[in-house]
Chain A
Amino acid sequence: MQRSRARVCAGRGEWKGSVSDLVGKLPGERKMRFSIYRYDPDADRAPRMQSYELEAVEPGMMLLDALLRLKARDETLSFRRSCGEGVCGSDGMNINGRNGLACITPLAGLKEPVVLRPLPGLPVIRDLVVDMSRFYRHYRAVRPYLINRDPEPEVERRQSPRERERLDGLYECILCACCTTGCPSFWWNPDRFLGPAALLQAYRFIADSRDQATEERLDALEGPYRLFRCRNIMNCVEFCPKGLNPTRAIGHIRELMVKRSI
């Protein structure tokens, strides 16, 4: 990226600044520096951090807007994105050391240079794009669907408002992986610990009044690894862009396990 270095008023005025210095001081328009993880496994021997500078940052801009502008300039920069409003969960990344969604992270609150890295703990496909297969495998392992052996009713399976309320704080998960990839227990045992996202989903179906497989679900979560690697570190709660609480869900599952074993 070329920085404008045209000197103005050089000479007798003795002003040694540049146009870009001047622009940077205009209200509502400023520059921001980024340091972005770049890695192409086919071409690069090792990952590197690349510096970028973005001019004309407007107030209210989100990180994703900045990334899209940087990509317009350097099309080799790779990241996932889709809805752009925190619903699809595609643009999860590590922003200044914290996992979050780029599309709902305001640029204004970020310390410079903004350091962007891929979600930790998963293999990098390219730049900020990680291989989510392991994450989805753990999600599938908790059988994230209703299991009900009764004959299908004429109308829908009904729930009282109270039964429905128990799913609040569970069903909203968008599977962005910010929680699971921020969990040290997942980093140490990524192949066997299911991670906060999958465990939150496990409890979402355990808590569902229409589901009849609670026993099997609890059985499946037993053993020292799948659930019990959770050490209540609570990075998941800290990072969840939807404000959910996987640690509490895991606590409820443990509670149910204790209750049925007594």
Chain B
Amino acid sequence: MSARNHGLRGWVLQRLTALYLALFLLYLLVHLSVSAPATVAEWRAWVGDPLVNGAWAVFFAALLMHAWVGVRDVILDYVRPAGLRLIVLFALGLYLLALGYWALVVLLAVAP
């Protein structure tokens, strides 16, 4: 997408990721209250399931994209000097990427 639909892209992304986050959290809530893994081995087996593992990966991706759009909006509103804004946005991006990498490492560790 071009820079032209920058506003729309962020807005749509925020809504779509919010939808997934809500559905996945609902699933998580139901699953953990109905059949919570009792031991570490059970927990690993559950997250190790390819479907669950994939759903977690999408969850983290959605969470980080959602956070990027949301916090970027706050920064656009409150951090006015262009240079400072660029630095803050860059730091935010780096931080979110690091979190994503961390989540990936954890998920791959238990992947089938």
Contact = CB atoms under 8 A, between A and B. Distances in A.
Interface of B: 3-8, 10-12, 73, 76-78
Contacts of B73: 231
Contacts of B11: 228, 254
Nearest to A224: B7
Contact of B4 (A189, A223, A227, A228): A223
A81 interface: no
B77 A224 contact: no
A257 B8 CA distance: 7
Chain A interface residue bracket vs B: 10 to 19
A171 interface: no
B8 A188 contact: no
Contacts of A261: 5, 8, 12
A254 to B, nearest CB: 7
B101 to A, nearest CB: 27
A223 B77 contact: no
Given A228-B10, A228-B11, A188 B5 contact: no
Nearest to B6: A224
Interface of A: 185, 188-189, 219, 222-229, 231, 254, 257-258, 261
Given A228-B11, A254-B11, A258-B12, A222 B77 contact: no
B8 A258 contact: yes
A257 B6 CA distance: 12
B32 to A, nearest CB: 32
Contacts of A223: 3-4, 6-7
Candidate in B7, B10, B73, B77 with the most chain A CB atoms within 10 angstroms:
B7
Candidate in A185, A222, A261 with the most chain B CB atoms within 10 angstroms:
A222
Contact of A222 (B8, B12, B76, B78): B8
A229 B77 contact: yes
Contacts of A229: 76-77
A26 B3 CA distance: 67
Nearest to A262: B12
A189 B5 contact: no
11 contacts: A188-B78, A189-B76, A222-B7, A223-B3, A225-B76, A229-B76, A231-B73, A257-B8, A258-B12, A261-B5, A261-B12
B5 A222 contact: yes
Nearest to A192: B76
Nearest to A227: B7
Contact of B6 (A185, A222, A231, A258): A222
A148 to B, nearest CB: 25
B8 A228 contact: yes
A211 to B, nearest CB: 21
A104 B3 CA distance: 45
B88 to A, nearest CB: 15
Contacts of B7: 222-228
A189 B77 contact: yes
A231 B7 CA distance: 12
A261 B11 CA distance: 13
B4 A219 contact: yes
Contacts of A188: 77-78
Nearest to B4: A222
Contacts of B76: 189, 224-225, 229
A224 B7 CA distance: 4
